[in-house]
Amino acid sequence: MKIIEGKVIVTCPGRNFVTLKIITDEGVYGIGDATLNGRELSVVSYLEDHVIPCLIGRDPQQIEDIWQYLYRGAYWRRGPVTMSAIAAVDMALWDIKAKLAKMPLYQLLGGRCREGVMVYGHANGTTIDDTLGELDRYMSMGYKAIRLQTGVPGLKSTYGVSGDKMYYEPADGDLPTENVWSTEKYLDSVPKLFERAREKVGFGPHLLHDVHHRLTPIEAARLGKSLEPYRLFWLEDATVADNPESFRLIRQHTTTPLAVGEVFNSIHDCRTLIQEQLIDYIRCTLVHTGGITHLRRIASLADLYQVRTGCHGATDLSPVSMGAALNFDISIPNFGVQEYMRHTKETDEVFPHNYTFKNGYLMPGETPGHGVDIDEKLAAKYPYKRAFLPVNRLEDGSMTNW
């Protein structure tokens, strides 16, 4: 069996997605997500110019060998562009293998070890009252786990608070939008939100919060400590993890569970955090971390240290990533939660898929493969539109993390 073609499809049904389709001489094909928000065309070039030519003629069944070929063969290791391109190939090859085996992908990965995949949704609003109204709405949709983000008094905008409640897309500018940030104002506002939320709904639903890398370790420690009475499921990206050792300081001060890793692309980004048990949830995702072949190594390592997974699942990861992730999540022992931001109707139509939502859980479907396809004709109706993620400045004008 041979790979005869690799096709990169760029489409923008409301936001940009990059998809790889690998076609074999036996007619079977596989689909992989290659979307890297705000840097999409770099991955397109990486695939078209440097990966696809090396794939033609190879046996698509040799997934591990092809992974090693692309990773070691590049000489230049890691990095989000490289690892997203490898991930797309890997996802497509697992899709092909599962189709050949006539099995849903999760069966190939060892079969189900839970009934469904618990997901969390994003309740947000400009005021606490607004956000609590959204919390209600998510609970009535059946969600068991809900992330809360709210506006910060005195700041015009902040991460995670969206104009359109259901479909948050932060890449909103033809050039990067400039936001203003104040840690002091933010730190005052978050505990109030969670105090009000627990007063309103009690301790039934899991509540989560994303700091989006905006605090220093000692500020993050203070926030974690102040949130302890409200028993969060997790506090996400409390500080940047460029220095994994930073998490030692946070850990010394708080029992609020910590999650990190949506911007990671390698097991080496996670190693210290996992082995020193500095985190509770690892957020790496298939599309940005080298696909199933690499993410399952990360999950296996994490399992040794009682760290669970909480894969990134924002709307900038296409339904292809979501379908593949659900097959992965349902088959690993140390799954924690899956992020689930709903895609728009236009996106769902471009990517026909078989996963379903019920009572706060997503279920992968039963058709062979990972269960997600792309409608190329429809995709062609939505041409690429340049879009950047915002940048962030402190009130004095200096750059900070967005």
Crossing angle of helices 319-329 and 291-304, in 10° steps, is: 40
Tell me, yes or no, if 361 is annotated catalytic.
no
- Given 29, 46, 138, 159, which residue is catalytic? 159
Choose between 260 and 274: whose C-beta lies nearer to ligand EZ4.
260
Q: Is 210 an interacting residue with respect to Co ion (CB under 5 A)?
A: yes
Q: What is the dihedral sign for C-alpha 251, 257, 262, 267? A: positive
- Closest to ligand EZ4 by CB, 80 vs 291, is 80
Least Cα distance to 23 among 98, 97, 103, 96 occurs for 96
40 makes contact, choosing from ligand EZ4, Co ion, none, with CB < 5 to 8 Å by partner type, with: none
- In whole angstroms, how close is the CB of 314 to Co ion at the nearest point? 7
- Contacts with ligand EZ4, residue ranges (CB under 6 A): 37, 170, 210, 212, 262, 312, 314, 316, 339, 389
Minimum CB–partner distance for residue 309 and Co ion (Å): 14
Q: Are 311 and 284 in contact (CB under 8 A)?
A: yes
Q: Give ∠ CA 71-72-78 in degrees, rounded to 5.
A: 50
Radius of gyration of the CA atoms of the chain, in A: 20
- Select which of 122, 209, 212, 288 is catalytic: 212
Our CB check for ligand EZ4 shows the closer of 11 and 37 to be 37
Q: From the centroid of its chain, how far is CA 82?
A: 17
Looking at residue 296, its amino acid is R
Residue 170 touches which member of Co ion, ligand EZ4, none, C-beta under 5-8 Å by kind = ligand EZ4
In this structure, the chain runs to a length of 402
How many Å apart are CA 162 and CA 215, to the nearest integer?
Answer: 21
Give CA angle at 308 (307, 313), nearest 5°: 135
Known catalytic residue at 353 = no
Least distance from ligand EZ4 to the Cβ atom of residue 392, Å = 12
Beta carbons of 361 and 337 less than 8 angstroms apart:
no
**Binding of Co ion by 316 (CB under 5 A):** no
316 binds, among Co ion, ligand EZ4, none (CB under 5 to 8 A by kind): ligand EZ4
C-beta closer to ligand EZ4: residue 209 or 370 = 209
Segment contacting Co ion by CB under 5 A, of 171-179, 189-197, 256-264, 292-300: 256-264
User: Partners of 338 in the beta sheet?
Assistant: 119
Instruction: State the binding partner of 122 from ligand EZ4, Co ion, none, CB within 5 to 8 A by kind.
Output: none
> SS3 sequence, 131-188?
HHHHHHHHHHCCCCEEEEEECCCCCCCCCCCCCCCCCCCCCCECCCCEEEECHHHHHH
Instruction: Please choose which of ligand EZ4, Co ion, none residue 169 contacts, taking the beta carbon within 5 to 8 angstroms, the exact cut-off set by kind.
Output: none
Kindly state the helix (H) or strand (E) to which residue 200 belongs, with its residue range. helix 183-201
Smallest gap from residue 203 Cβ to ligand EZ4 (A): 23
Please state whether beta strands 117-125 and 361-363 pair in parallel, antiparallel, or not at all (unpaired): antiparallel
Among the listed ranges 56-64, 113-121, 192-200, 204-212, the one in contact with Co ion (CB under 5 A) is 204-212
Residue with tokens 């109707």: 345
CB of 198 to ligand EZ4, least distance (A): 22
Which residue has the closest beta carbon to Co ion? Answer: 210
For ligand EZ4, which is the closer residue by CB, 321 or 327?
Answer: 321
Q: Is 219 in the site for Co ion (CB under 5 A)?
A: no
Residue 227: helix, strand or coil by DSSP? helix
Nearest residue (CB) to ligand EZ4, 29 versus 186: 186
Residues that bind Co ion (rule: CB under 5 A) add up to a total of: 2
Q: What is the nearest approach in angstroms of ligand EZ4 to the Cβ of residue 260?
A: 11
Which residue, 262 or 373, has its beta carbon nearer to Co ion? Answer: 262
Residues assigned a catalytic role:
159, 212
Give the footprint of Co ion on this chain (CB under 5 A): 210, 262
